[in-house]
Amino acid sequence: MSQQHSAAPAPTAQTASAVATVGRRRDWWRDAVIYQVYPRSFADSNGDGMGDLEGVRTRLPYLRDLGVDAVWLSPFYASPQADAGYDVADYRAVDPMFGNLLDADALIRDAHELNLRIIVDLVPNHSSDQHEWFKRALAEGPGSPSRDRYHFRPGKGENGELPPNDWESIFGGPAWTRVPDGEWYLHLFAPEQPDFNWDHPAVGDEFRSILRFWLDMGVDGFRIDVAHGLVKAEGLPDLGSHEQLKLLGNDVMPFFDQDGVHEIYRQWRVILDEYSGERIFVAEAWTPTVERTANYVRPDELHQAFNFQYLSTAWDADELRTVIDRTLEAMRPVGAPATWVLSNHDVTRHATRFANPPGLGTQIRLAGDRELGLRRARAATLLMLALPGSVYVYQGEELGLPDVVDLPDEVRQDPAYFRGAGQDGFRDGCRVPIPWTRTGSSYGFGDGGSWLPQPEGWGELSVEAQTGVADSTLELYRAALAVRRERPDLGAGDAVEWLKAPEGVLAFRRGEFVCVANTTGESVTAPVRGRVLLASGEVSEADGEVKVPADTTVWWATA
């Protein structure tokens, strides 16, 4: 009997050359692997406990060697940080906690030299309450033109003491805050995040200018925050009876997924297409169905939209096959690539999510069975990387990081945590700074500790601890991304050929490549023959058959 393990040798010069080739090819975004960096938690260059752009820049070679095509940076704009930078005070400035525009320029230039593309977050649904427009609107009072750039309304009730309608904030509580002169303003998120009124032409003018500013800086694209929320239903109608809104949900709402958003993105696409280099738009669009999501990626609108239906799917073969088929079918008519994602800065990391029983949602405050969670997370990763389309990787998932579920309440900073009627507010658990080294005050994150406390033993999951270790999660990611680059059957296209498989097992063919994912708790005999390319766990071969262990994915080359 012979054994096959999951990892491959560390990256080589040949790997770097392959990355360079990927960086120059056309339609790169159709099967790209895009790595999300949460700047405050990635790398700290000045020892203040907070990650920054210079820290990201120094770690770019690591991302090149990992094998990704592009880096998506969460917001680093000037902000009071009421919601970790998603409350922007100045869209053309870097917040001092992250550096300055020269640091942004250096990061973009260095990334391009390494054949990495840079995608930046754009937050067009709302600004900070410290934005000059909003401060002017407050100062100028009711009826002023400045107030028309936001949603100011008189209240209901005898003295206007009630909110204008019954909308609730995604973070909990009413979606309206009253100002001293008696009017109310709309904020679908925190009170420090007033919503723009996209019916006002000045708002569109401003954001078209912001797009050009960053495109001229050299960015390769934009991830559009709350892309489904810019346009509200006419008249701002009441919701009526409903459950508390969830941050990551698919309910039909009068302030989400309104048809008017598509005209905005058609105008933006015209601007983007003026620039060379295949720049792209990526939509964070929570919609009721994947078919509605496809509306955002029609040929004259955006390029990609996050597949949150896939992210929300349990580790279950039938459920996964259903969402895979629906996604590919929905994207095919509009000619857009599917996207696949397992973790991000707003949800429990999948190594923890899969360690707990299904049905707990995307926010979990339980450690669960960590060994089981990691095993399933590794298997889910290989399944995801075998699917046609583009893939998003959240920083630290390549290390198998779990959520830090036992953070003390006094260190939490998620604004949803402090609004009792809203979300669970446990997003801090997936935002703990990642470990680079086995030891040190913050395991290599920086010399001055970390803004969220890292748990004991974090260093054993570090880049240093896993590099060169054959069965480590980091080497599994490196090997999988290398195979994905080297084999044309992976990533490209828009279809899979399903193969007959035992219950609880997914098996599909793509050209001369076969993926088998066993989501059950028992070993199964693989329904294919060929050469094992990679496996998320140890597999065994005997008497011409391959046994796939529980919660394991295997890649085969059939020729």
CA-CA distance, 294 to 338, in Å (whole number)?
9
- Cα gap 436→465, rounded to integer Å: 8
CA dihedral 364, 369, 371, 376 (to 10 degrees): -60
Pairing of strands 390-394, 33-37: parallel
HSE toward the beta carbon, residue 30, CA cutoff 13 A: 14
User: 13-24 vs 473-486: helix axis angle to the nearest 10?
Assistant: 50
Residues contacting 438, CB < 8 A, separation 6+: 459, 460, 462, 464, 465
Tokens 């609730």 appear where? 168
Annotated catalytic residue: which of 225, 284, 414, 475? 225
Rounded distance, CA 442 to CA 438, Å?
A: 9
Could you tell me the sign of the dihedral formed by the alpha carbons of 485, 486, 491, 493, in that order?
positive
274: annotated active-site residue:
yes
- Residue whose structure tokens are 């003491």: 161
Tokens at residue 99, please?
Answer: 């550096």
b/e burial code for range 528-538 (CB count within 10 A of at least 16 → b)? eeeebbbbbbe
Distance CA 101, CA 104 (A): 5
Helix (H) or strand (E) holding 294: helix 290-294
| Token pair listed for 80 | 């009071």
SS3 41: helix
Is 206 noted as a catalytic residue in this protein? no
The neighbour count for residue 522, using CB atoms within 10 Å, is 11
DSSP type of residue 168: B
532 forms bridges with which residues in the sheet? 556
Joined together, the tokens standing for residue 106 give 């250096």
Q: Give backbone dihedrals phi and psi of 341, rounded to 5 degrees, phi first.
A: -150, 145
> In the 8-state DSSP scheme, what is residue 337?
P
3-state class (DSSP) for residue 516: strand
Whole-angstrom Cα distance, residue 100 to residue 93? Answer: 7
CA–CA distance, 487 with 94 (Å, rounded to integer): 40
Contact 186, 176 (CB under 8 A): yes
Q: Nearest Cα to 532, choosing from 10, 1, 6? A: 6
User: Rounded distance, CA 276 to CA 516, Å?
Assistant: 40
Q: Is residue 437 a contact partner of residue 443, using CB atoms and an 8 Å limit? A: yes
Q: Catalytic pick from 274, 325, 406, 460?
A: 274
User: What is the distance between the alpha carbons of residues 85 and 82, in angstroms, rounded to a whole number?
Assistant: 7
Strand partners, 262: none
Catalytic residues: 225, 274
